[in-house]
Amino acid sequence: SIYEMFGNECCLSTGEVIQVIGFKIKKLIASVCENNDSSQFSAKVELPLNFPGLYKVVADKTPYGSIEDITRKVSIGPTRFGHPCFYSPEDIQLANLTIKHGEQITFNSVEEVDGTLAVSCDVVRGNQSHSFTLPLSQEGKFYECEDDQIYTLKEIAEWKIPKCRNRIVKLSHTLQMWDSSNPLPQHFDGCLLLTPVYEVQAVMRSRKDIVHILSDLDVEVKDITDCYDIRSFLQPLSLEDVFERTSKEFPMVAEIMEGPAGSQTPTNSLYTGKEIIIYKKYQAARVLASEIRSDSPKRHFLIPLSYKGKFKRRPREFPTAYDLEIARSEKEQLHVVATKAFESPHKELFSVSVGDQFLVQQCQTSEVLEEGRKKLVDVLACEQILSDGYERVLLPMYLEGGFVEVIHDKKQYQLAEICKEFPLPFNVKVSVRDLSVEEDVLAAVPGLQLEEQITDSYLLVSSAHSPVESWEIPVYRSNMLVHLLSRDTQAVVPPKTKTTVEEIREEQYYMVRRYENQTLRPPPRPPKKPT
């Protein structure tokens, strides 16, 4: 059977031995529903896995008949996506715990308990987590719980489509402006019924790369696993597989079987067939930054703390008085100018006019008269800057106006200094570009908001032949497969590391914000304006 693979013909001869290493969703066929009625789908469109957008998963209404049924069809594992949640319409009686009907059960991992396969689970009651195991033989009806997270199509394809089932998703957020090339209708905000189209990933003894075979290829095969030595095949490893190896196993020499896509350095240097040295695995700090602009799409970057450019501060904007309270610091007094007028409903509190300037002091309570009764409310104490001095005023915390920061600090800062001295988010502009690189992508950006500092996983890699420099490869954003070579490494000490600013796509930005720093919590909502 001869078929075309990425524009090249590939031949599967009679008697050819192939090792299947996995199944992967190649693309999605989406049935479109524009009116949010998940039972009425019309037009079908083809969507690539990198199609932009964020989606909510609609819980599957078809129950699973046993725990084993779930483990066969649903992805369960230690990764951040591998913890699906189910509920039973009936109570489940365990030895020392009763799982109540409708209670959310989180599936964490599949493990062996006393010689029997079981799923490690937990339920949360109040603020306390209760752990237990459910054997694969446990029968009953198990329904998917509602999922309030948002996902990219790639995440859904890899983790949220059970085997032998379709998946309904609802568009939550578009990531690009609509144009005629978009297969979805303009202003679409309905549901999609996703049907996966699979491909088989395999290795052949005659090839050093990964062979991708579409699942509808008309070819007959026979399973000879039990009578064949699979060690004669190359064993592909993802970067996640390499990262899970112990630190003692590094450094190692590998050959790239499938290189990552992209034109950024070092991605453009990592191609199929290239031999590389992987020196070590580690966690490294990055600052997540976004371009400051009113329209979309914004550009997003991960900046290493070793970035050698310098920054000058740019004014921050604050929509409410509550945001002023969050932004103020002990290091310096916050000076702002009002860009929007606000009429206070209480005579005891100050009414703001456009152009008023304030020095922010502190949050406190103040007594106001409301419908003839005295009442304590939260206010922001400020000093209004007048032509002949200062006047102490109280702004209602719910004030919905607009303020722009007045910058007095003209100093130029290194990135590490900013992270040490100021709370993030923090607005800046590159004032001196990084001269250690040929092209500083940040220098052309008119303004940046440094949003948060994260920790990410990397592999330190160089060319195996005459290495001049080494690169940091992000483990979870580089779709790359390698196989390890048996020969020992000659260079144990890596050459000089070239650390670069990484520009990330918008869906990757949401993934980083959502998962890389799970301890981050948004500030509480500001108090509501009294009615």
Residue with tokens 């250690």: 436
Band (523; pLDDT cuts 50, 70, 90): very low
User: What is the pLDDT averaged over residues 362-382?
Assistant: 85
- Upstream peptide bond of 396 is cis (omega within 30 degrees of 0): no
Band (pLDDT 50/70/90 cuts) for residue 449 is very high
pLDDT of amino acid 490: 60
Does residue 80 or residue 405 have the better pLDDT? 405
What is the DSSP code string of 32-100? EESSS-TT----EEEE-TT---EEEEPPP-SPEEEHHHHHHHS--SSSTT---EEE-SS-EE-SS-EEP
Residue-wise pLDDT for 77-90, tens only, equals 766 678 899 999 99
Candidate from 4-8, 285-289, 304-308, 504-508 with smallest mean pLDDT? 4-8
Q: pLDDT (tens digit, 9 = 90+) per residue, 415-434? A: 999 998 888 888 999 999 99
| Predicted local distance difference test score (pLDDT) of residue 206 | 66
> What is the C-alpha separation between 228 and 131, in angstroms, rounded?
42
**pLDDT value of residue 359:** 93
User: What is the mean predicted confidence (pLDDT) over 240-256?
Assistant: 87
Q: Is the pLDDT of residue 240 over 90?
A: no
pLDDT at 438: 84
**Of 51-65, 179-193, 212-226, highest mean pLDDT:** 51-65
Entry field: residues in the chain? 531
Query: How confident is the prediction for the chain on average, in pLDDT?
Result: 83
pLDDT value of residue 428: 94
Most confident of the ranges 52-56, 203-207, 415-419: 415-419
Point out which residues pair with 359 in neighbouring strands: 335, 383
Residue 2 pLDDT level (bands cut at 50, 70, 90):
low
Residue 333 — very low, low, confident or very high, per pLDDT cuts 50/70/90? confident
- 476 HSE (CA, 13 A, CB side): 17
Give residue-wise pLDDT tens across range 65-81: 999 999 999 988 766 67
| Distance between CA atoms of residues 291 and 299, nearest Å | 5
